[in-house]
């Protein structure tokens, strides 16, 4: 199924607008005449975006133009969330197999120039919703609807909801089995579960990438080569003396002189002890915390000072079995049982970490308490399990950080744009589909957090990924954006231009200066009044230059001294040469001969530079 057209009578701030989502047809609804007019689209190219991609439409507009509102309407409509009275006012045209259908609660006249098709009316909107799987993806976090249960759950129904807003709830629910909507949770609890699932989704994506690359199918974006595991040692002053004593006793007990790998594990163990103390502080009362704060480190120190290590200085011998013994020694005095589950889960994580620490393809950075694990075909599944094991231990605070990079260590960690792309792909990759129904993917603010270079490449990479990942599905893509870089990759019949005019959202049929957008010069797109209404100068600079000009105009005379002290540097920093020259002309009109001579000297230098360039071209 493919959605071809939405007519929205009223939804939030949107009134009476029609949104074309087909690159083959153009639809226009005349409310006064009650006519739905269908025209053949110019320059239609079948399968333009890929064999299994029916169409890609971008809704483009400035902030506040109604892009997200229009997309929200579509998401809610396709999810069964729009109330019946709003359904009655809408018109939806869709194609199923080779037949075009339309829904309208009221009789409308169909005027079609697209003679190939005859439109059939349906009276049940469920026919639309059940014919495809709707996927909604958004990286935007909106605190105003953070606690809105209806928006996250009720309105979006069966939609595959991949929005950050929803995942903050759903990831916690999936990890704990608790109802995240009814349980009162801290932001840290929600975010911890969300962060865990995001890391795991990326790890699963990397495993999927490996499988595809093994078959000769390259991934569109250069994936990270390393997972970095960094220890977080608690910097709270009340723990510092305890941590120092534990470090000294551990190094003496294990007698590790050369094994940087085991030193890392010792520090991981100490970080976990400080973490346990921090967790107890939040879980139990002050008296019990004081008791645990004294007892837990005391038990560890007693063990380290009164026992002899079974380990040798051989780097290949792991210390984790002895760490397990120390944990058991701690639990012997845990009368209240508050540590059992936490310690067993930490023990499990350290055992999993040990396999990587003593494995191949790792780099140890002792000064940063960090190891870098090279991501290989063999260990991708285990990395996913390692991340999972850590987040099983995590509570209010942290003792380990994970981050991806292109080379070992911190020098080449992924940019925010690379992470943004990985998150988009990893969330889509995480979807479980139990049928081969067509997919309708709706993405809000697709280019958010992307550098212009990534914006320029986004459509190419995204289409490439969708075509590979969902090769067994027919896919329609609808996205919102406000970047000319996105626009340059799309034919004009795949673009919806929204603009805010007074209090209304309106649709523009084309840009003022450019009719065809595909392959259009990005600079020319930027300069179109649709994107920039007040020229290409930043607002801060525009006001500063305006104030400078007003100040000059208000002067009766400007001396050389005034020019040097008050105006020269303010003019020199202006990058637009024509504007700079005009301001100097204003200065000259109010100047004495001495200052005018100085301006002439400056112009003479510029003219000489131009003369040299001209002569050089003549010689060529």
DSSP string, 500-547: EETTEEEEESS-SS-S--TT--HHHHHHSTTT-SS-SS-HHHHHHHHH
Phi, psi (degrees; rounded to nearest 5) at 216: 85, 15
Query: Residue 578 has what pLDDT?
Result: 77
Phi and psi angles of residue 146, each rounded to the nearest 5 degrees, phi first: -60, -40
Residue 282 clears pLDDT 70, i.e. is over it: no
Average pLDDT over the chain, rounded to whole? 82
Chain segment 488-501, per-residue pLDDT in tens:
999 999 999 888 87
Mean pLDDT of 268-287: 76
| 8 Å CB contact between 52 and 474 | yes
pLDDT over 90 for what percent of the chain? 28
CA 334 centroid distance within chain:
43
The 10 Å CB-count burial string (b at 16+, else e) for 485-496 is bbbbbbbbbbbb
The count of C-alpha atoms lying within 13 angstroms of the C-alpha of 144, restricted to the half-sphere facing its C-beta, is 1
The distance from CA 434 to its chain's CA centroid, rounded to whole angstroms, is: 27
Residue 514 pLDDT exceeds 60: no
Count CB-CB contacts under 10 A for residue 438: 19
Listed in sequence order, the residues at least 6 apart from 466 whose beta carbon sits closer than 8 Å to its beta carbon are 50, 53, 428, 441, 475, 477
Beta bridge partners of residue 504, listed in sequence order: 501
Burial of 546 (0-12, 13-18, 19+ CB in 10 A): exposed
Per-residue pLDDT at 284 exceeds 60: no
**Which of 52-61, 233-242, 386-395 comes out lowest in average pLDDT?**
233-242
Mean pLDDT, to the nearest integer, of 400-410? 88
pLDDT of 3 higher than 70: yes
**Cα 246 to Cα 225: distance, rounded to the nearest angstrom:** 34
Q: In what order do the strands lie in the sheet with 362-365?
A: 362-365, 370-374, 226-231, 400-405
Q: Which of 154-158, 299-303, 437-441 has the lowest mean pLDDT?
A: 154-158
Rounded-to-integer distance, Cα 604 and Cα 598, Å: 10
Per-residue pLDDT band for 346 (boundaries 50, 70, 90) equals very high
Read off the pLDDT of residues 27-38 as tens digits, 9 standing for 90 and up.
999 999 999 999
pLDDT at site 219: 78
Instruction: Give the span between the Cα atoms of 218 and 211, in whole angstroms.
Output: 10
Say what the pLDDT of residue 147 is. Answer: 46
pLDDT at 182: 64
Cα(56)–Cα(21) distance, integer angstroms? 8
Pairing of the two strands 35-40 and 439-444: unpaired
Cβ–Cβ < 8 Å for 202, 422: yes
Q: Which residues contact 500 (CB under 8 A, 6 or more apart)?
A: 61, 62, 64, 65, 66, 506
Can you tell me the mean pLDDT for 520-528? 72
Query: Could you read off the pLDDT of 415-469 as tens digits, one per residue?
Result: 888 888 899 999 999 999 988 999 999 999 888 878 888 888 899 999 999 999 9
| CB distance 230 to 370 below 8 Å | yes
Model confidence at 508: pLDDT above 80: no
For residue 602, pLDDT over 90 is answered with no
In degrees, rounded to 5, the angle at the alpha carbon of residue 156 between the alpha carbons of residues 150 and 157 is 100
pLDDT score recorded for residue 139:
87
Q: What is the pTM of this model?
A: 0.83
For the segment 166-190, what is each residue's pLDDT rounded down to a tens digit? 888 888 888 777 776 666 666 677 7
**Count of beta carbons in the 10 Å neighbourhood of residue 214:** 9
Decide if 388 contacts 200 (C-beta within 8 A): yes
Helix (H) or strand (E) holding 59: strand 53-60
Share of the chain above pLDDT 70, in %: 84
Please enumerate in sequence order all residues whose Cβ is within 8 A of that of 604, keeping only pairs 6 or more positions apart, or say none.
Answer: none
Give Cα separations from 598 to 558, 575, 612 (angstroms).
13, 20, 22
Rounded-to-integer distance, Cα 173 and Cα 519, Å: 45
What is the mean pLDDT of the segment spanning 60-67? 82
Instruction: Outline where 359-469 has alpha helix (H).
Output: 380-393, 416-429, 452-469
- Find the mean pLDDT for residues 206-233: 84
pLDDT for the residue 149: 45
Q: Quick one: pLDDT at residue 151?
A: 47
The segment with the largest mean pLDDT, out of 27-36, 159-168, 189-198, 299-308, is 27-36
CA atoms lying within 13 Å on the CB side of residue 299:
18
């Amino acid at each position: 199924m493919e959605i071809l057209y939405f007519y929205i009578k009223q939804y939030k701030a949107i009134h009476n607008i029609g949104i074309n989502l087909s690159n083959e047809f153009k639809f226009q609804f005349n409310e006064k005449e009650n006519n739905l007019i269908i025209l053949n689209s110019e320059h239609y190219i079948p399968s333009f975006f890929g064999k299994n991609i029916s169409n890609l439409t971008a809704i483009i507009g400035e902030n506040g133009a109604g892009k997200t509102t229009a997309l929200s309407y579509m998401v809610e409509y396709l999810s069964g969330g729009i109330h019946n009275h709003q359904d009655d006012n809408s018109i939806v045209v869709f194609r199923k197999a080779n037949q075009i259908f339309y829904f309208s609660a009221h009789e409308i006249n169909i005027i079609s120039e697209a003679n190939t098709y005859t439109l059939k009316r349906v009276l049940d909107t469920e026919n639309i919703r059940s014919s495809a799987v709707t996927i909604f993806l958004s990286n935007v976090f909106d605190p105003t609807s953070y606690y809105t249960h209806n928006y996250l759950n009720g309105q979006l129904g069966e939609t595959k909801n991949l929005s950050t807003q929803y995942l903050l709830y759903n990831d916690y629910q999936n990890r704990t089995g608790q109802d995240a909507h009814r349980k009162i949770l801290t932001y840290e609890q929600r975010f911890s579960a969300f962060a865990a699932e995001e890391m795991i989704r990326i790890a699963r994506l990397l495993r999927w990438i490996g499988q595809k690359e093994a078959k000769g199918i390259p991934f569109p974006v250069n994936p990270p080569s390393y997972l970095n595991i960094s220890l977080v040692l608690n910097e709270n002053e009340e723990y510092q003396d305890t941590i120092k004593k534990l470090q000294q006793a551990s190094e003496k007990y294990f007698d590790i002189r050369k094994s940087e790998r085991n030193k890392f594990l010792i520090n991981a163990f100490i970080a976990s002890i400080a973490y346990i103390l921090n967790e107890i502080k939040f879980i139990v009362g002050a008296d019990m915390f004081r008791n645990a704060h004294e007892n837990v480190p005391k038990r560890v120190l007693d063990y380290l000072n009164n026992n002899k290590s079974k380990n040798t200085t051989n780097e290949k011998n792991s210390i984790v079995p002895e760490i397990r013994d120390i944990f058991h020694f701690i639990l012997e005095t845990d009368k209240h049982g508050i540590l059992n589950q936490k310690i067993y889960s930490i023990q499990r994580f350290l055992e999993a970490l040990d396999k990587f620490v003593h494995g191949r393809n790792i780099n140890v950075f002792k000064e940063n308490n960090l190891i870098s694990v090279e991501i290989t075909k063999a260990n991708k599944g285990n990395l996913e399990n390692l991340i999972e094991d850590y987040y099983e231990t995590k509570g209010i605070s942290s003792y380990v950080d994970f981050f991806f990079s292109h080379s070992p260590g911190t020098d080449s960690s992924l940019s925010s744009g690379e992470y943004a792309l990985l998150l988009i792909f990893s969330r889509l990759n995480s979807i479980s589909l139990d049928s081969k129904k067509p997919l309708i993917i709706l993405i809000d603010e697709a280019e958010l957090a992307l550098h212009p270079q990534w914006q320029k490449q986004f459509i190419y990479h995204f289409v490439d990924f969708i075509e590979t990942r969902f090769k067994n599905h027919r896919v329609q893509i609808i996205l919102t954006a406000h970047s000319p870089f996105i626009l340059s990759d799309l034919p004009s019949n795949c673009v919806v231009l929204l603009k805010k005019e007074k209090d209304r959202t309106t649709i523009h049929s084309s840009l003022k200066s450019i009719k065809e957008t595909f392959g259009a010069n990005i600079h020319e797109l930027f300069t179109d009044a649709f994107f920039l209404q007040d020229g290409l100068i930043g607002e801060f600079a525009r006001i500063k230059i305006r104030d400078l000009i007003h100040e000059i105009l208000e002067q009766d005379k400007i001396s050389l001294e005034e020019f040097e002290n008050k105006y020269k540097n303010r003019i020199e920093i202006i990058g637009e040469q024509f504007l700079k020259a005009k301001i100097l002309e204003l200065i000259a009109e109010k100047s004495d001969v001495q200052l005018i001579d100085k301006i002439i000297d400056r112009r003479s230098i510029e003219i000489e530079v131009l003369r040299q360039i001209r002569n050089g071209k003549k010689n060529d």
